[in-house]
A and B are shown apart, each in its own frame.
Chain A
Amino acid sequence: MSITIRSITRALTPWLVPVLLVGAWEIACRLHWLPPSQSAAPSAIASHLLSPALLVNVIWTLIRLVAGVAIGALVGIVSGLFLAQKRVADRLFSPTLRFLAPIPIIVWFPFLIILFGLGDAMRIAFVATAAYFLVHVHCFNAVRSVNRDFLELGQIYEKRYWSRVWHVMLPSSLASIFTSVRIAIAIGWVVVALAEFGLREQGKEGIGWFIMQARGLGQVENEFAGIVLLGLTGAIADGIVRTAEKHYLKWANTAEVGA
């Protein structure tokens, strides 16, 4: 197979399954295999995808998601780094964190409302809380697993504490951190939509509220347009993090299975 045909094939392969699914969905709607009150054909949804109202809501959701994941990840990395290295702090705080981590995120809702009110601060805190536990656990385990050989190298070269963190511990833990951030983004979408479902802020509702509103009004095309855009934006966000991961981990000697 020539290089051009191979490149084209590789570029088109990821689209094969979505195209087949969308095609099947379109056919099912046109043949009335799916109840019209519960679904809309892709061709009907497409015209709603670029509606200004929908796009504004997606942007607000994206802002909350990015802010929440960034804050949660940053705090998670710092606490993971710190507790992994300081035994006393680990004995002091880790048991409490292990108790709090498995609590379903929805349970935090009332506490965060009390702390942050009903506005964006609460929604961002909601996302940040979900992201924090995930990133903290991954970072903690990664730092605890740093190869002692590299730490000894830092000792021999008399590297100061922060220099060892920056030059040895963080790079060594980066793969785990990236994985946890990607998972945090995926969970973050669910969490932010939850936070938007029930609480409306005029002009800044968000995609979660938009979808619930469309469902309540029987606007099936709008509802599905919101869901599709949610998925698309999520895939793009994940793609951005994957690109960053590939860049910052290009030194890693790993086999990229299927590449």
Chain B
Amino acid sequence: MADGLQIDIEAMVHPRKPTILIGNVSLHVSPGAFVSFVGPSGAGKSTLLRIVAGLEKRFDGEVKWNGERVEEPSRAIQLVFQDYRLLPWKTVEDNLQFAASHSAPQQEITQRIQLWLDETRLQKLRKNWPKNLSGGEIARVAFARAFIDPPKVLLLDEPFSGLDIARRNDLQEKLTAAALANGTTVILVSHSVDDSVFLSDTVYVAGTEPLTIVRTYHIDLPRGHRDRFDPKLQTRVKEVTQDLLRMGPPSLLDQPKAPVLISRSIVA
């Protein structure tokens, strides 16, 4: 399977502890597919994205895109960081310009910037500094920046956390549309099971210590035409959520002799 993203990680040692952070992770992502990773905090999901982006080299294994090893970061595989990482000394417009390829004609770059400023409703904020933007506006700039020079693979590290439902929905629609239009392969890491199931073709449930894939769910509904409240999607959400809860700490209320720390009447 030469086309698409092939991830074969045998092991990666934790950078700060004498433990294995990422265990055996082997999967193939087809070109244009949208996959998500959900799992406990600290499992190593963000590190997995960094490995795919070519930012981490201290692991055993390899990552290949279309048959070629990913050894260095490149514009073909872009990562939208959890903190978005807008350059504080550049305006919104200049942050988008920064993402453009130096080999592309400036006229084309200007048109793309204009297009994405309109798409993300950032026109009036084009000359603003990041310090003057709200969290939602910063997220929109980060998304626009990711598509100024559409990547082959887009890695998203919890990009919707901190956004309200309306803004999340808006960005997710734009993400889905842009990914479908450009044939972009997307890997999303998210704590939101809802978002992961709604957006993805495949959801991987990641276990921790070390990170491995414990379960895989396929979503056989066409992307871009999904209803968030579709019973099939909701069933998947429930299944994935139950998997995650089983991996988490045992609930106090399930323990027969647990001290009563909270009133059951509040919980009931």
Contacts and interface: CB of A to CB of B under 8 A. Distances in A.
Contacts of A253: 88, 131
Residue of A156, A172, A252, A253 with highest tally of chain B CB at under 10 A: A156
Given A150-B87, A251-B129, A156 B79 contact: yes
- Interface SS, B side: loop
Contact of A167 (B53, B88, B98): B98
Interface string B126-140: 000111000000000
A160 B81 contact: no
B102 interface: yes
Contacts of B77: 156
Given A163-B102, A167-B98, A253-B131, A156 B75 contact: yes
A158 B75 CA distance: 6
B74 interface: yes
Residue of B55, B83, B87 with highest tally of chain A CB at under 10 A: B87
B6 interface: no
B88 A156 contact: no
Contact of B102 (A156, A160, A171, A172): A160
B68 interface: no
B89 interface: yes
Residue of B77, B83, B85, B130 with highest tally of chain A CB at under 10 A: B85
B79 A149 contact: no
Contacts, number: 53
A251 B89 contact: yes
B89 A172 contact: yes
Contact of B85 (A150, A160, A174, A252): A150
Interface string B76-108: 011101010101111000000011011000000
A174 B90 CA distance: 13
Contacts of B99: 157
A156 B89 contact: no
Interface in A144-164: 149-150, 152-153, 155-160, 163
- Contact-residue bracket for chain B: 20 to 34
B75 A167 contact: no
Interface string B26-56: 0000000000000000000000000001010
A160 B103 CA distance: 11
Contacts of B98: 153, 157, 159, 167
Nearest to A249: B89
Contacts of B78: 156
Interface residues of A, number: 20
B129 A155 contact: no
B83 A149 contact: yes
Nearest to A253: B131
B72 interface: yes
A168 interface: yes
A168 B87 contact: yes
B224 interface: no
Given A150-B85, A158-B101, A250 B74 contact: no
List 7 A-B pairs, minimum CB-CB distance, nearest first.
Answer: A253-B131, A171-B89, A155-B73, A251-B129, A156-B73, A251-B89, A158-B75
Interface of A: 149-150, 152-153, 155-160, 163, 167-168, 171-172, 174, 250-253
Given A156-B78, A157-B75, A159-B102, 9 more contacts: A149-B85, A150-B85, A150-B87, A156-B53, A156-B73, A160-B102, A172-B89, A174-B89, A251-B89
5 contacts: A149-B81, A155-B73, A158-B75, A158-B101, A252-B88
